Amino acid sequence: MKELTHYINGEHVKGTSGRFADVYNPATGEVQAKVPLASKAEMDAAVAAAAAAQPAWGAVNPQRRARVLMKFVDLLQRDMDKLAEALSSEHGKTFPDAKGDIQRGLEVAEYCIAAPQMLKGEYTDGAGPGIDIYSMRQPLGVTAGITPFNFPAMIPMWMFAPAIACGNAFILKPSERDPSVPLMLAELLEEAGLPKGIIQVVNGDKEAVDAILYDDVIQSVGFVGSTPIAEYIYGTGCAQGKRVQCFGGAKNHMIIMPDADMDQAADALVGAGYGAAGERCMAISVAVPVGEETADKLRDKLIPRIEKLKIAPYTAGDDVDYGPVVTAAAKENILRLVQSGVDQGADLVVDGRDFSLQGYEEGFFVGPHLFDNVTKDMDIYKTEIFGPVLSMVRAKSYEEALGLAMDHEYGNGTAIFTRDGDAARDFASRVNIGMVGVNVPIPVPLAYHTFGGWKKSAFGDLNQHGPDAFKFYTRTKTVTSRWPSGIKEGGEFHFKQMD
């Protein structure tokens, strides 16, 4: 059995706590590795190494720091297939999707190459007589991030690329379900020239997370994961005086107006609802057709598309639509929620409950499900299912559809499909959700914009990546300086009498 390690101060270090978690191959259901779960003492060792290394790194000029990321981007491209293979084998997502996971992280590293530009301060010349004011952006020191299983490459990179570019040291506590790629990323950073101790990976669970939250040296904590844990980390971290940003769960609605191109809308829904087995925080899990006729047309277009989906392990080829979910517990939870939908009166028009894949009976595969006539009071509507389950809620009007998206407790992403510019514009302007797609089902902003939800989908005041990341990972210092007149008034050839 493969035993994974931590990555502390430039070395792979065996776990010493005696506690481990199983890492599965979700396609077969087999345990393929054991990952160590760090104790507080192991986290303390990483923090000490980070604190020792950070001042020198913070003093390296930003252009040189950026060059490390330039090289890192090259290495990611060199190792893309190797990384994607490791990612798919632990997560279960398809090979092209694993590459997308890496690519979307790579793009943030690429954006962070602009560190010299982004870290330029502000300057007021002549704020008063002989007085200038200038501000600088300085690193926080030791920073940390806690990441979810569903994007084991992208989300760590969204955190550590800006943290490092800004001159910080960064301690990553990745998901214990797919920890191999984060370890590989740390190695690549050091191959790219990052000094030891600036990136470290400490594997673990709540014990490691609490060690981060209660550590006095760590200045900031980034978190991405489910909302209850986001709330815990935000509350605890802030109470310890840390800078914290937490991104949580989602229930993303897609509104389909009667004038939408129905084929386009159905294709978009199938990709956004079932891609990555629905394990995306920007997945569409609720379709809201406006009007009975729209709903009937959409349903007729969706069913054959869903029934054609190819569900298989990533090794079965690039035409696989989605793979297994991450664990047996995740599968069980999804099927329990599907059953609650049936019990609470929704129409299960595509039933994937009996899905089984020959040769992979022990794998964590879940067939696709489509519910129609879902209502607001049902658990399948209120809860984030995080599986291949799409719910249709029929709305009578545009206002009712907008109200559904607005009243839901989550506010990560949403989309509207229409040919009407006025409806799209009104929707984008009024909806209380962080990321909006117009005829785009998964509106994940690119690296140079920022990513973040509203309501229960995010806690903290800055978004991930883009210009916000450079704010999150730096402190502003503002200097007011006054130089009284001196040597420019003429040369001084004698020692002045000091009285």
Q: Which residues bind ligand NAD (CB under 6 A)?
A: 146-151, 173, 175-176, 205-206, 209, 224-226, 229, 247-250, 281, 384, 386, 412, 453, 457
**Over the range 299-318, which residues count as b (16 or more CB within 10 Å of their CB) and which as e?**
bebbeebbeebebbbbebee
State the minimum distance, in angstroms, from the CB of residue 450 to ligand NAD: 11
Taking Cα atoms as reference points, which of 24, 18, 29 lies closest to residue 2? 24
User: Is residue 6 within 8 Å of 41, Cβ to Cβ?
Assistant: no
**How many C-beta atoms lie closer than 10 Å to residue 285's C-beta?**
25
Between helix 180-191 and helix 80-91 the angle, nearest 10°, is 160
Minimum distance of ligand NAD from residue 267's CB (angstroms): 23
Comparing CB distances to ligand NAD, the nearer of 57 and 381 is: 381
User: Quick check: 198 and 50 in contact, CB under 8 A?
Assistant: yes
Residue where the block lists tokens 């993303």: 252
Report, in Å, the least distance between residue 456 CB and ligand NAD.
Answer: 10
Instruction: Say if residues 201 and 212 touch (Cβ distance below 8 Å).
Output: no
Q: What is the DSSP letter of 347?
A: E
Q: Which is nearer to ligand NAD, 139 or 460 (CB)?
A: 460
Measured over all CA atoms, what is the biggest interatomic distance in the chain, rounded to whole angstroms?
A: 97
Q: Which is nearer to ligand NAD, 47 or 281 (CB)?
A: 281
- Nearer CB in complex with ligand NAD: 38/416: 38
Residue 444 bridge partners (DSSP): none
> 310 vs 88, 270, 314, 349, CA distance in Å?
16, 12, 11, 18
Q: Judged by CB, which is closer to ligand NAD: 279, or 372?
A: 279
Residue with the closest Cβ to ligand NAD? Answer: 225
Supply the DSSP symbol for 310.
-
Beta carbons of 428 and 199 less than 8 angstroms apart: no
Label the pairing between strands 435-438 and 252-256: unpaired
d(CA 287, CA 374): 10
The minimum distance between CB 229 and ligand NAD, in angstroms, equals 4
Residue 185 C-alpha from the chain's centroid: 16
Q: Which two tokens stand for residue 297?
A: 């047309």
Task: Estimate the crossing angle of helix 95-111 against helix 80-91, to 10 degrees.
Answer: 120
Q: What's the min distance (Å) between Cβ of 306 and ligand NAD?
A: 22
Question: Rounded to whole angstroms, how far apart are CA atoms 411 and 296?
Answer: 27
Q: Which is nearer to ligand NAD, 173 or 471 (CB)?
A: 173
Least separation in angstroms between CB 346 and ligand NAD = 22
Q: How far is the CB of 480 from ligand NAD (least distance, A)?
A: 39
Active site residues: 281
Q: What is d(CA 345, CA 243) in angstroms, rounded to the nearest whole number?
A: 45
Nearer to ligand NAD, 66 or 415 (CB): 415
**Beta carbon of residue 43, minimum distance to ligand NAD (angstroms, whole number):** 13
Pairwise CA distance, residues 176 & 8, whole Å: 17
Nearer to ligand NAD, 151 or 371 (CB): 151
